[in-house]
Amino acid sequence: MRRKRTLELALFFWAATGFAWGAGFKAGVAKVDITPPPGLPMYGYFDRTQLSTGTLDPLYARILVIEVQGKRLALITLDLGRTFGPASLTRLRNQLAQKSGISYLLTTASHTHSGPNILDEYPANQTPAWETADLDKIAKGVGEACQREVEAQVGTGFGAVDIGYNRRRVNADGTVAMFWQNPDKVPTSPLDPTVSVLRVDTVGGKPLAILVNYACHPVVFGPDNLEYSADFVGVMARTTEQSVGDPVGGQPLCFFLQGGDGDINPYYATTPLVDDAVKKRDWTGEQLGAEAARVAKTIHTEPVQEPSLQFTEDYLTFPVRWDAQKFRQGMLAKYGPKIYEDHADLLNSESPRRELALDVTTVLLNKKIAMIGMPGEPFVDFQIDWRGRCPVPSAFFVGYANGYYDYFPTIRAASEGGYGAADSDTYVAVGAGERMLNQALVRIYEMLGRLTDEPEDLRKQ
């Protein structure tokens, strides 16, 4: 089964090296603090049983709103381990549509392991107070971004930085060993060091937003850290904003778009606090931020003819990968007597959910800039494949988008095994990532007018 929602907006805007928006296109930004109170379960490490004790650095939702001919799109990046669950996202969509006229909503999370735990379904369907409060803050922030809209234009650029490695080591005999830390920076593969940057300016050239797309788990802090933190992503954003901004024009707002990081760790992953984890987090974020800022400064905007923005949102249905009983046994073996709550709907012995509808988002900007959004943790090969096969000059790959279904390994990785490839946290059917990527490629070709619903022999008549 596949449900499709398509949104096409004709844009009349000025310029960029990659593409640009100007007259007829408006953009506004906002940032809201979504740091929850202490005393909550934390996200990311199954062996971390203690509750949060405080805040090391704030968690933010960053909001970019664009408006074209009465249509509004909101892009929201979250300093969280994952996006909110389906019910919360539906509530947010409805609220933004009614109060701010948002036609399309795209949310994505950084995947920090130093945030609060988030579930798809909560006991008795009671959303925690902190999550409800954050949703209200985000809705208010979107309204503020709409009020701040100005005529805008956009550009793109690309660079590279070396801050991470592939944590799956395939041995000569075909077995897989997990490579959890790599402080000596031993070379690994596959790996994608690409830093993709999208810059939003006023028509006068003042930077409003810098969007940074990169693939790497924000896990410099390990399970011993009990304070909320955006990990290296927060340092990256601050470094970029300070470098690109100026005392007169002010600082832009920096957004992080997590890529295909399913098998990619930072070199200093899970560093104990006593071993200078804060310093190593800062080094990682500063390296990425410096490169993002360097690229952003090279982007020059110029007018273009006949700009456009196109979206498709497809819901692709996949079976659950594992036998229900064996899946429950695997989760019990991994997490102990307290079954992992995030999979409660899949573990329910009375009526386990055996099919999953995954939201795959495809975006094409000005017929030159393409973006895919996958609702989980794709392996980096998908990011590399997307950029190699996409038929436009600039291709952005975004994970943790509009939902969360854990890992999407490649077919080959699933056959080899290892964490994220063949354990109980990898519960979507094998081949899901390939199918999602192919679907997005089909949509891009359709948007370009190179695939139609009319046979070629009829078009030649």
| pLDDT single digits (tens) 272-297 | 999 999 999 999 999 999 999 999 99
pLDDT-derived band at 339 (thresholds 50, 70, 90) equals low
- What pLDDT score was predicted for residue 340? 53
Confidence category of residue 338, pLDDT binned at 50, 70, 90: low
Per-residue pLDDT band at 205 (split at 50, 70, 90): confident
- CA atoms of 307 and 18, how far apart (whole Å): 11
pLDDT of residue 10: 35
**Which tokens is 85 given?**
């669950």
429 DSSP 8-state letter: P
Question: Could you tell me what percentage of the chain is helix, strand and coil, using 3-state DSSP and rounding each to the nearest 5?
Answer: 30, 30, 40
In this prediction, residue 306 carries a pLDDT of 67
Plot region of 177 (φ>0 → left; ψ -120 to 50 → alpha; else → beta): beta
pLDDT of residue 7: 41
User: How do 150-160 and 194-202 pair as beta strands?
Assistant: antiparallel
Q: pLDDT of 103-138, one tens digit each?
A: 888 999 999 999 999 999 888 889 999 999 999 999
| CA pair distance 291, 71, nearest whole angstrom | 34
What integer pLDDT is reported at residue 66 of this predicted model? 81
pLDDT in tens, 23-47: 567 889 999 999 999 999 999 998 8
- Give the H or E element holding residue 242: helix 232-244
Query: What's the angle, vertex CA 155, arms to CA 152 and CA 159, rounded to 5?
Result: 150
Residue type, 428: V
pLDDT on residue 9 = 39
Q: How confident is the model at residue 333 (pLDDT cuts 50, 70, 90)?
A: confident
Neighbour count for residue 17 (Cβ, 10 Å): 17
- Alpha carbons 319 and 428: distance in angstroms, whole number: 7
The residue extents of the domains of the chain are: 13-298, 308-459
Burial class (CB in 10 A: 0-12, 13-18, 19+), 171: exposed
Tell me, what's the pLDDT at 22?
42
pLDDT band at 309 (very low <50, low <70, confident <90, very high): confident
- The top-scoring range by mean pLDDT among 395-409, 417-431, 447-461 is 395-409
Q: Based on the number of CB atoms within 10 Å of its own CB, is 113 exposed (0-12), middle (13-18) or buried (19 or more)?
A: buried
Q: Which residues of 19-41 are buried (b: 16+ CB within 10 A; e: fewer)?
A: bbbbeebbbbbbbbebbbeeebe
Distance from CA of residue 384 to its chain's centroid?
A: 16
Average pLDDT, the chain: 89
Round to whole Å and give the CA distance between 268 and 185: 9
Lowest mean pLDDT among 47-61, 335-349, 351-365, 371-385: 335-349
